[in-house]
Amino acid sequence: MSLIRLDKMLANAGVGSRTQVKYHIKKGLVTVNGTPASKPELKVDPDKDTICINGEPINTSLAEYFILNKPAGYVSATKDNIHSDVVSLIDSTRKDLFPVGRLDKDTEGLLLITNDGALAHNMLSPKKHVEKTYYAVIDGIVTDDDVTVFAQGVNIGDEDLNVALPAKLTILNEPLSSYYNGVDSEKDKNVSYITVTITEGKFHQVKRMFHAIGKEVLYLKRISFGPLTLPEDLPISKSRKLTVNELKLLESYIKKD
Ligand code: URA
């Protein structure tokens, strides 16, 4: 049982701002299990209590899941004072949505946005080793030796030893057209197109892995996260709800050891 303040819960559910919700409560329009709520601080259990506004029940514990194609320039945070946060791109009135994990401000691609804390916890748990695949454009020629170094675990520590877990680096012959984000043609001759799959989420991990082998990431896009793949037809900055099938995949994925 997790209790939460009535006004917070209603605001999270997208009923209105905290001030508007308090006004509804004061007017006696909000009932909890049939009784008009006495005060905004009243503690309620969203999973058990029946909460209505004007007699209309509110489904407060409904979990929501969105897949977002994050654009560059947005931070993976939910603070109210950050206007370019990723949650502002989601078409929902809920106030309790948050991104599952982080992508750098300049990184694009797949972000899962939800209000399901348990699922987020599982997907981010270091014990689960959730696979994340990135497509990247690299300044310099990535070689088969680099593939071997990544497979063995590259040291990304600046001074101390900080060896990344083995990662699967794949050199592509050409840009992934649907994801390629133009690098000027002169430079193109000296760039490589790769995908890399990692199973941890260290700060700036992919950039640091390439930096450690003397190469820099010019463009980075996450194309998969656990069982989820970025849909090719999802335009940048757009999101959609997870399909029933994607949700099933996610649920069975987090059950695995
Ligand atoms: N690795 C990075 O360097 N940046 C990201 O945003 C994600 C992984």
185 pLDDT higher than 70: no
* Ligand 1 center–CA 136 separation, angstroms: 10
User: Which residue lies with its CA nearest to atom 7 of ligand 1?
Assistant: 103
**In ligand 1, which atom is closest to the CA atom of 209?**
3
Q: What is the pTM of this model?
A: 0.83
User: Which residue lies with its CA nearest to atom 2 of ligand 1?
Assistant: 204
Count Cβ atoms below 10 Å from residue 26 Cβ, excluding itself: 12
Do 104 and 77 share a domain, yes or no?
Answer: yes
Do 121 and 237 share a domain, yes or no?
Answer: yes
Range(s) of the domain holding residue 142? 131-225
Do 237 and 118 share a domain, yes or no?
Answer: yes
Give the mutation target among 207, 209, 219 for probing the ligand 1 site: most ligand atoms within 8 A of CB.
207
Tell me how far apart the alpha carbons of residues 211 and 217 are, in angstroms, rounded to a whole number.
Answer: 8
Residue 87: which of 106, 57, 59, 64 has the closest Cα? Answer: 64
Which residues are known to be catalytic?
104
Instruction: Summarize pLDDT for 65-104 with one digit per residue, the tens.
Output: 999 999 999 988 766 545 568 999 998 878 889 999 999 9
Do 74 and 108 share a domain, yes or no?
Answer: yes
207 pLDDT higher than 90: yes
CATH number at residue 90: 3.30.70.580
Instruction: Summarize pLDDT for 27-64 with one digit per residue, the tens.
Output: 999 999 999 999 999 999 888 889 999 998 887 767 89
Instruction: Summarize pLDDT for 128-168 with one digit per residue, the tens.
Output: 999 999 999 999 999 999 999 999 999 998 777 889 999 99
How large is the C-alpha radius of gyration of the chain?
Answer: 22
Give the mutation target among 134, 197, 216 for probing the ligand 1 site: most ligand atoms within 8 A of CB.
134
pLDDT at position 251: 92
**Cβ–ligand 1 contact at 204 (below 6 Å):** yes
Do 49 and 175 share a domain, yes or no?
Answer: no
Do 87 and 46 share a domain, yes or no?
Answer: no
Tell me how far apart the alpha carbons of residues 74 and 30 are, in angstroms, rounded to a whole number.
Answer: 37
pLDDT at position 187: 55
Query: β-pairing, 216-225 with 108-114?
Result: parallel
Do 71 and 112 share a domain, yes or no?
Answer: yes
pLDDT at position 159: 73
CATH number at residue 52: 3.10.290.10
Domain count, the chain: 3
